[in-house]
Amino acid sequence: MNLDDTIVAIATPPGRGGIGVVRLSGPEARAIALPMLRLKHELEAGHAVFGELVEPGGGAEPCPVVTERSSADRIDEVVVTYFAKPHSYTTDDIIEISSHSSPIVLRHVVELALARGARLAEPGEFTMRAFLNGRIDLTQAEAVRDLIDSQTLYQAKVAAQQLEGEAGIDFAEDDISVLPTEQIVQRIATIRGPLEELAATFAYGKIVHEGLTLAIVGRPNVGKSSLFNRLVERERAIVTATPGTTRDLISETVALGGIPVRLVDTAGIRRALDEAESIGIRKSMEAIAGADLVLIVLDSSQPVTEEDTELLEQGAKRPAIVVENKADLSSFPTSVLGSQLPRVRTSAITGEGIGGLRNEILRHIGGETGVQAETGFVTSLRHQSLIREAITALDAAQAAVRGKIPHEMILLDLYNALRQLDEITGATATDDILNLIFSTFCIGK
Ligand code: GDP
């Protein structure tokens, strides 16, 4: 990919709206933009200037300062911001033209820029330039993408923290002469420990990044749908309809503790049960298998049935919470099955116990109140795999030291560990990895 040309893209989402921004980055950004602009003042780095977007080629001078307000060649009123190299997002000259967000106007600005030699930016190319020009590292570039993709404010904050580049691993920079074996082993252990701790945070980090799926299972009429609605009503739904899902499983994503939780209600069980009891159970089993957390709902006003027993047995194989619903009715003794699972008594009718159920769910997922929120954690599978590989290389190095393998060979293992960690920040990332990461960005970022 050419890094020296000037790229252009619409930086705001498609559609009509108040303001839309076209962004130009590269050595020719100013020269390409000026002929289509009639500005109130000269461009000045770091300042926004009011002006007009005009058809270029009219005047003799490029970019004459506005003298007459109403001119026939005016397309829109604009605000233009100039970020001078190297103090810009990409470290190159950047011009941002904010017009009204009309797809026609924005596209025209891009076409004018293309006609004057700019190239259409690839997805994520602005951020890629920031990375390749050394302004940010790869984890920060990924944080930009995660921030844009975030579904909850908490996820956005986590990404913003990573964008700041807070996480870091310090290596001792002491001069190292040849040390006794035990000391080498000890030194490797001091690196390995924090890496192991970091890797252990991934289970939680993955939930923060990807959210989790919560299945609500139980016999027909125990109150699954009513509980589902109760859980959803007080939370802001993130996605109301999930296109492409079958009507058998109704799902809705809500933010619980800043984490997107996809609630799956196995409403199809009822319909399936008309055909054969076993299908109903099978549907529940499918929902349980795909869930990170299962709510096993019982009707506490009814004696426990065989079907309940089966669900408790299966559900207990996953992280699960037993919900004894219909607490407002007279209750039967509860089943001892699944007694090791947390239990909550609820009434979907009166609302009793719903707060407790929500807290129990939050306890499971951690969420913004989770202890790990402050200490930093790994949210990316890519980072996690590299940390694991670094640990493996350190283990190999330790084994080599103990096996009295020559020091040069041990260095190879240590270097291998370091290379994995460098790859996290992109210091040694290959083109393939870079393309993979930046292709997941939106255009204009
Ligand atoms: P599902 O088949 O498991 O989804 O159950 P529904 O949510 O459709 O509820 C079945 C019936 O039980 C409905 O008439 C609900 O109004 C009623 N119901 C649900 N939860 C409660 C509860 O906590 N107490 C009482 N008394 N009735 C409930």
Taking the CB of residue 320, how many other CB atoms lie within 10 A of it? 24
pLDDT in tens, 81-139: 999 999 999 999 999 999 999 999 999 999 999 999 999 999 999 999 999 998 898 88
270 Cα–ligand 1 center, Å: 13
Domain that holds residue 75: 7-121
Q: State whether 193 and 104 are in the same domain.
A: no
Q: What values do phi and psi take at 142, rounded to 5? A: -65, -35
Q: State whether 115 and 162 are in the same domain.
A: no
**What pLDDT does 390 receive?**
94
Three-state SS for 113-177 is HHHCCCEECCCCHHHHHHHHCCCCCHHHHHHHHHHHHCCCHHHHHHHHHHHCCCCCCCCCCCCCC
Length of the chain in residues, anyone? 445
426: amino acid identity, one letter: G
Strand ranges of the sheet holding 293-299, from the earlier edge strand across to the other edge = 237-239, 250-256, 259-265, 212-217, 293-299, 320-325, 343-345
Q: How far apart are the first and last CA of the chain?
A: 16
Q: State whether 50 and 67 are in the same domain.
A: yes
Tokens of 424: 């996290």
Q: Closest by alpha carbon to 198, among 171, 169, 156?
A: 169
> Domain containing 178 — which CATH number?
1.20.120.430
List the single range of 11-25, 298-312, 334-348 with lowest mean pLDDT. 334-348
* Ligand 1 environment, Cβ below 6 A: 218, 220-226, 270, 325-326, 328-329, 347-349
347 vs 354: CA distance, rounded Å? 7
> Domain containing 363 — which CATH number?
3.40.50.300
252 Cα–ligand 1 center, Å: 19
Give the residue whose CA is nearest to atom 15 of ligand 1: 223
Mutate to test the pocket of ligand 1, among 219, 221, 283 (most ligand atoms within 8 A of CB): 221
> Which atom in ligand 1 lies closest to the alpha carbon of residue 222?
3
As a whole number of Å, the CA-based R_g of the chain is 29
Of 370, 404, 427, the residue that ends a domain is 370
> Which atom in ligand 1 lies closest to the alpha carbon of residue 297?
3
> Domain containing 51 — which CATH number?
3.30.1360.120
Q: 264 exposed, middle or buried (CB, 10 Å; 0-12, 13-18, 19+)?
A: buried
Q: State whether 100 and 25 are in the same domain.
A: yes
Give the residue whose CA is nearest to atom 24 of ligand 1: 326
**What pLDDT does 22 receive?**
96
Residue 206 C-alpha from the chain's centroid: 9
Mutate to test the pocket of ligand 1, among 219, 226, 330, 352 (most ligand atoms within 8 A of CB): 226
User: What is the average pLDDT value for the chain, to the nearest integer?
Assistant: 81
Decide: pTM greater than 0.85. no
Q: State whether 353 and 244 are in the same domain.
A: yes
Quick check: 404 pLDDT over 80?
yes
146 vs 82: CA distance, rounded Å? 26
Q: What values do phi and psi take at 343, rounded to 5? A: -125, 140
346 Cα–ligand 1 center, Å: 11
154 Cα–ligand 1 center, Å: 33
273 Cα–ligand 1 center, Å: 17
DSSP code of 101? E
Q: State whether 276 and 361 are in the same domain.
A: yes
Cα angle 51-55-58, degrees, rounded to a multiple of 5: 100
Q: State whether 240 and 310 are in the same domain.
A: yes
445 Cα–ligand 1 center, Å: 48
**What pLDDT does 250 receive?**
66
